C-alpha cells in the first residue's frame, strides 16, 4: 500500500495579502489533489518577502510531505520563490535553455519584444524536473529533498491550473506505485444531503472505489475514486459503481467529468442539431450570457430577449398587454407565451421563457423565489412554477440552472418533473 | 505614533482544504484591514481538526499581533474554533445569555424550530468582547491576551464581512489612539501602471494621507488613507488630496467608495431620470445580466436583445440584411444601427449596441478583441472601435465595462474618448 501523502499549498504574493485577488489557486489545487488521494491539510499565503517566505517554507517542510508553491516565478525583482526555495533546500540554480527558448518563442508569437529580465525565469534549481509553461512564460518545477516533495507553479490561475494538471499530477502519480483515478459525476436537481441519503448504503459498503458527494454552488458533485496498480484496472473497477449510481440517481447526472450545466446542454444541442432561443425576465440575460460564454454558441443559439418590463414583453414578443394585465407578468400564462413567442420570432426548435420574482421586492402576488420556467417546442409548451431561494443572486442563478436543466431533460427524453 | 500592527488571518474549515469553497473571507478581511492601516502578513487555513488548529494558533501568536479566525463557530461537533482558541490562550468558557436570546429570536423570525445544539454557539471565552451576530446565528468575539489580539468571526462570507465591518473594525480602532480613515476612488479606463505614472510625483510627495493604486479585474482603484487623532481631522486632510487627484485623472473616476461600474451608471441614470436599452452581440446578454443584478434595475432598464446571429439582428431590430452582408456583422455601420434601432424599438432615452469578435475564432475581417460599441440618444449616435484583449472572457468583460463607461461619460457630460 502506498503512503498517504499530506500537502501544504503555499501561495506567494503581496497582492493576495492586500486582498487584490482571491486565492483560487488553493481551491483548484485542493480539488485536483483530492483526485490523487492526497490530503491537503494546510493552505498558507505570504507576501513577496524573502524572510517571511523562508520561515513559511521551514514550517511547511516540518509538517507536510508535499509543498506546492504558487506565484512568485515571474521576471520582476518581487519574484523570489525559486531563489528562496532553492536556498531553503540547499540547491544551486542553473539556467534552463529549453525554458529560455520557449520564452523567446512565446514573445515572437505575440509579436512583442522580450526584455532581458524575462530570462531570470529560466533559472531553476539544479536537478529539478522542469515543467515547461505552455500557457505563459514562467516555467515551474519539482524536486525531492529528503522526505519532502516540492512543486513550484506560476500564480496566474489559468497557468497554475493547466501546469498542475498536465505536469504536476503526472509527476506526483509517478512517485507512487499505485494509481489513483477518479471521475466526477455532475448532478443537478438533488442537493448534497439528498444524494447522500439515496446512496448512503452504497457509500458505506464501498471501500475501493470510494464514493463521496461534494456540494457545489447550486448543484452537487459525486466523486468516484479507485486505487489500483494500473490506470486500466482502476477504470475497470469504477464501471460497475458508476452503473449502480446511475441506477439510483441517473436522471440527475448531467455529465461525467463534464464542464458546466450549460456546456452539457450545448453539447447535447449540437449532437441533436437543435437550436434554442430564450425570453428572460427575472434572469435578465443571465441564460444568454452563460450560453454565449461558450465558444461556438452561435451554432445553437441565434439569440434571445431580455423583457424586463411589460412594454418589452409586448414590443419584442407581441404578448397581449391585456393578458399581462389580467394574469400578471409573473404567471403561468405569460411564461408560456414567452417561450412560444420567442421560439416563433427567432425560428428556433426550442423556446424557453423565464419570469419570476428575484427580489428583494415582490410583485404583491408571489413570494421572492417564485419563478415560472417554460419550454416550447414542436410538441407544445411545458411550464412549471419553481420555488428557488430567498436572495436575488440565488434566485437568478437557480432560475438559469433550472432552465438549462429543463432543456437537458427534454433533449434526453427524461421526465420534466425532477424534484421529489 | 501608534504601533503598526501585523495580522494573520486563520481560516478554519475542511471544506476550504477540499476545495469545495474558495477563501473569500481572507480577501475581504485583507481589504478591510488595509483600510485600518494594519499589515496582513499571513493567511493560513487548517481543517476542522483540533490538533492542527492548535498548532496553527501557536505559530500565528508567535509571529502576528492580531489573529483573526474565520469559521468553525457553528453548532455541530466539527465547530471547534472557540473551544480550541480558548484553550490555547488559557481561557475558560462562559454562557452568553444575550447571544442565546438572539438565536431564539432569529429562529422564531424564520418560523423554524431551534434545536438545542445551537446553544453551543452561545458559549464564549470568559471576559471577551461579544460580537452579536445580526446576520446569522453564531456570535463572534474578541479578546486581548498578552501581546496578541484575537478575533473570531463566522465563516459564511456575508456574516464574516458584516460582523467585521460593524463589530471588528470598531473594536480594532478602539485599541488605537489614532484614527485611520480611507476612501477608495474607483477608476475605469486607466490601468494601475498608468495611474501610477500620472500620479507618481503626488504619491511620492505625500506621507499622510497616503495614496496607493490597486489593480482590480478590468479596472483600478486608488486608496487615500489618512491618520489623525479624530475621524473628522482625517477626513479634512483627505479633501485636498482627492481634489488634486481629480485634477489629474478626474474623468476616469467613476465613484468614491462606490460599488461596481454598473451600479454607478444605475445611480446616475436614476438621478437623471434616463432609461437605457441594449442590443448585444459579442457580450451575449452580459450587460443586461449585470444591470439586472441590481435590485430595482427595471426603473431604468426595460430590456434588451441578444442578437447573436444575422437573422436575430434583422428580426428583432429590423436591421437590413443587405447592410450586414455588405459591411459585416462586426462593423461600425451595424453597431450604429444596433444602438439606434434598439433605442427606437424599446422607446428608451439611450440605446447601446455592442458587436465584436470575442474569439477564439475570428470573422475573417477582424482580430479577436476588436469590438464596436455604440451609443444612440436624441443627439444622434456615437460609435467607436475598441481593442479589448485576447481571451473570450476578457473581451466580453471589457466590452461590457466599456459600454457602461460610455453611458457614464455621456450622462456626466464628459468626452467620450478616454484612452490616450
Q: What is the pLDDT of residues A157-216, one digit of tens each?
A: 999 999 999 999 999 988 888 888 889 899 999 887 788 889 989 988 998 998 888 777
Angle at A401 between CA A395 and CA A406, to 5 degrees: 120
Cis peptide before A360 (omega within 30 of 0): yes
* pLDDT of A32 over the 90 cut: yes
At residue B322's C-alpha, the angle toward residues B316 and B327, to 5°, is 100
Sign of CA dihedral A313, A317, A318, A320: negative
Rounded Cα gap, residues B250 and B245, in angstroms: 7
CA angle B129, B130, B135 (to 5 degrees): 145
* Distance from the A9 Cα atom to the nearest Cα atom in chain B, whole angstroms: 9
Looking at beta carbons, which residues of chain A come within 8 Å of B64? none
Shortest Cα–Cα distance, A418 to chain B (Å): 25
Q: Do B22 and A19 touch (CB under 8 A)?
A: no
The closest CB to that of B17, out of A32, A41, A289, belongs to A41
Which residues from A are below 8 Å from B286, CB to CB?
Answer: 285, 289, 292
Instruction: For residues B346 and B304, give the distance between their C-alpha atoms in angstroms, rounded to a whole number.
Output: 8
Q: Average the pLDDT over A385-400 and give the result.
A: 91
Q: Which residues of B are less than 8 Å from A304 in CB distance? A: 285, 305-306, 308
Residue from B17, B60, B162 to probe the interface with A (highest A Cβ count within 10 Å): B17
How would DSSP label each residue in B317-377? H---HHHHHHH-SSSHHHHHHHHHHHHHHHT-SEEEEEEE--SSS--SSS-TTEEEEEEEE
- Interchain contact, A42 vs B41, CB within 8 Å: no
pLDDT (tens digit, 9 = 90+) per residue, B43-60?
Answer: 999 998 999 999 999 999
* pLDDT score of B420 more than 50: no
**Angstroms from A5 CA to nearest CA on chain B:** 14
Q: For B111-230, where are the alpha helices, taking DSSP H only?
A: 157-163, 169-174, 192-205
SS3 labels along A9-70: EEEECHHHHCCCCCCHHHHHHHHHHHHCCCEEEEEEEECCCHHHHHHHHHHHHHHCCEEEEE
Q: Give residue A369's region: left, alpha or beta (phi > 0; psi -120 to 50).
A: left
Q: Provide the pLDDT for residue A416.
A: 87
Helix (H) or strand (E) holding A174: helix A169-174
Other beta carbons within 10 Å of B321: 12
- Flag whether pLDDT at B266 surpasses 80: yes
How far away is chain A from the Cα of B104, in angstroms, using its nearest Cα? Answer: 21
Q: Hey, is A278 helix, strand or coil?
A: strand
The kind and range of the H/E element at B403 are helix B392-412
Averaged pLDDT for residues B260-268 = 96
For an interface test with A, the pick among B10, B112, B289, B390 (most A C-beta atoms closer than 10 Å) comes out as: B289
Q: Which residues pair with A159 in a beta bridge?
A: none
Q: What is the pLDDT of residue B30?
A: 96
- Judged against a pLDDT cut of 60, whether residue B1 lies above it is answered with no
Q: What is the largest CA-CA distance in chain A?
A: 80
| Contact state of B289 with A292 under an 8 Å Cβ cutoff | no
Paired strand residues for B150? B67, B143
Min distance B306 CA to chain A CA atoms (Å): 5
**pLDDT score for B209:** 93
Instruction: Quote the pLDDT of residue A2.
Output: 53
Write out the E strands in B188-302.
210-216, 219-228, 253-256, 276-280
Give the number of other Cβ atoms within 10 Å of residue B114's Cβ: 17
Residue, of B132 and B194, whose pLDDT is higher: B132
pLDDT at site A74: 82
- Report the 10 Å Cβ neighbour count for A308: 27
* Higher pLDDT pick, B218 / A81: A81
Q: Where does residue A6 rank: exposed (0-12), middle (13-18), buried (19+ CB within 10 A)? A: middle
Residue A420 confidence (pLDDT) above 60: no
| Average of per-residue pLDDT across A219-248 | 92
> pLDDT tier at A246 (50, 70, 90 boundaries)?
very high
Answer for the pair A8, B47: CB distance below 8 angstroms, yes or no.
Answer: no
Describe the crossing of helices A310-317 and A332-346 by its angle, rounded to 10 degrees.
40
- Please give, rounded to a whole number of angstroms, the shortest distance from the CA of A45 to a CA of chain B: 5
Residues of A in contact with B301 (CB under 8 A): 308
Output the pLDDT for position A124. Answer: 95
pLDDT at A3: 67
Q: Among all chains, which residue has been given the C-alpha cell 476542522?
A: B48
Q: Which of B285, B295, B358 sits opposite A304 (nearest CB)?
A: B285
**Alpha-carbon distance A239 to nearest alpha carbon in chain B (angstroms):** 25
Residue in B23, B298, B358 nearest the CB of A26: B23
Q: How far is B96 from chain A (nearest CA, A)?
A: 30
| pLDDT, greater one: B1 or B135 | B135
Q: Taking CB atoms and an 8 Å limit, are B346 and A59 in contact across chains?
A: no
Across the interface, whether the CB atoms of B44 and A44 are under 8 A apart is answered yes
Per-residue pLDDT of A254-290, as tens digits, reads 999 888 999 999 999 999 999 999 999 999 999 999 9
Residues of B in contact with A45 (CB under 8 A): 26, 42-44
pLDDT at B2: 53
ipTM (interface predicted TM): 0.79
Q: How many CB pairs under 8 A join A and B?
A: 236
Decide: helix, strand or coil at residue B102: helix
Query: Is the per-residue pLDDT at B169 higher than 60?
Result: yes
For A59, nearest residue in chain B (alpha carbons): B59
Which of B63, B302, B311 faces A309 most closely, judged by CB atoms?
A: B302
* pLDDT at residue B221 greater than cutoff 60: yes
Q: Is the Cβ pair B43, A44 closer than 8 Å?
A: yes
Q: For residue A180, what are the β-bridge partners?
A: A227
Indicate which of B24, B284, B329, B369 best probes the interface with A, i.e. most A CBs within 10 Å of its own CB. Answer: B284
- Report CB contact under 8 Å: A41, B40: no
Q: Which three cell numbers, joined as nine digits, stand for A294?
A: 461558450
- Which of B16, B20, B41 lies closest to A17 in CB terms? B41
Residue A17 has its nearest CB partner, among B11, B30, B45, at: B30
d(CA B377, CA B381): 6
pLDDT at B265: 97
Are A280 and B285 an interchain contact pair (Cβ–Cβ within 8 Å)? yes
pTM over 0.90: no
Radius of gyration of chain B (CA): 26
Amino acid at each position: 500500500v502506498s503512503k498517504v501523502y499530506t500537502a501544504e499549498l503555499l501561495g506567494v504574493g503581496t497582492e493576495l495579502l492586500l486582498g487584490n485577488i482571491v486565492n483560487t489557486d488553493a481551491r483548484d489545487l485542493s480539488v485536483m489533489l483530492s483526485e490523487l488521494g492526497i490530503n491537503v491539510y494546510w493552505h498558507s499565503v505570504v507576501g513577496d518577502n524573502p524572510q517571511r517566505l523562508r520561515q513559511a517554507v521551514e514550517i511547511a517542510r516540518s509538517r507536510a510531505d508535499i509543498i506546492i508553491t504558487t506565484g512568485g516565478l515571474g521576471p520582476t525583482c518581487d519574484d523570489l520563490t525559486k531563489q528562496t526555495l532553492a536556498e531553503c533546500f540547499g540547491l544551486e540554480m542553473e539556467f534552463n535553455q529549453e525554458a529560455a527558448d520557449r520564452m523567446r518563442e512565446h514573445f515572437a508569437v505575440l509579436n512583442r519584444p522580450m526584455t532581458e529580465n524575462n530570462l531570470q525565469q529560466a533559472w531553476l534549481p539544479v536537478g529539478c524536473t522542469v515543467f515547461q509553461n505552455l500557457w505563459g512564460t514562467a516555467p515551474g518545477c519539482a524536486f525531492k529533498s529528503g522526505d519532502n516533495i516540492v512543486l513550484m507553479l506560476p500564480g496566474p490561475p489559468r497557468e497554475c491550473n493547466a501546469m498542475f494538471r498536465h505536469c504536476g499530477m503526472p509527476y506526483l502519480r509517478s512517485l507512487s506505485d499505485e494509481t489513483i483515478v477518479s471521475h466526477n459525476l455532475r448532478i443537478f436537481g438533488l442537493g448534497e444531503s439528498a444524494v447522500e441519503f439515496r446512496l448512503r448504503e452504497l457509500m458505506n459498503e464501498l471501500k475501493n472505489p470510494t464514493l463521496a458527494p461534494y456540494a457545489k454552488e447550486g448543484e452537487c458533485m459525486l466523486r468516484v475514486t479507485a486505487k489500483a496498480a494500473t490506470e486500466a484496472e482502476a477504470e475497470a473497477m469504477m464501471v460497475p459503481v458508476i452503473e449502480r449510481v446511475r441506477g439510483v440517481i441517473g436522471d440527475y447526472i448531467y455529465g461525467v467529468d463534464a464542464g458546466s450545466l450549460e456546456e452539457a446542454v450545448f453539447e447535447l444541442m449540437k449532437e441533436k442539431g437543435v437550436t434554442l432561443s430564450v425570453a428572460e425576465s427575472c434572469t435578465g440575460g443571465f441564460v444568454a450570457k452563460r450560453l454565449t460564454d461558450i465558444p461556438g454558441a452561435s451554432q445553437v443559439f441565434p439569440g434571445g430577449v431580455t423583457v424586463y418590463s411589460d412594454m418589452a414583453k409586448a414590443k419584442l414578443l407581441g404578448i397581449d398587454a391585456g393578458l399581462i394585465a389580467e394574469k400578471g407578468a409573473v404567471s403561468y400564462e405569460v411564461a408560456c407565451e414567452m417561450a412560444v413567442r420567442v421560439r416563433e420570432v427567432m425560428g428556433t426548435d426550442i423556446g424557453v421563457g423565464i419570469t419570476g420574482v428575484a427580489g428583494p421586492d415582490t410583485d404583491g402576488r408571489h413570494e421572492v423565489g417564485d419563478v415560472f420556467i417554460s419550454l416550447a417546442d414542436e410538441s407544445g409548451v411545458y411550464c412549471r412554477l419553481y420555488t428557488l431561494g430567498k436572495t436575488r443572486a440565488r434566485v437568478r442563478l437557480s432560475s438559469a440552472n433550472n432552465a438549462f436543466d429543463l432543456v437537458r431533460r427534454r433533449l434526453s427524453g427524461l421526465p420534466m418533473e425532477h424534484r421529489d
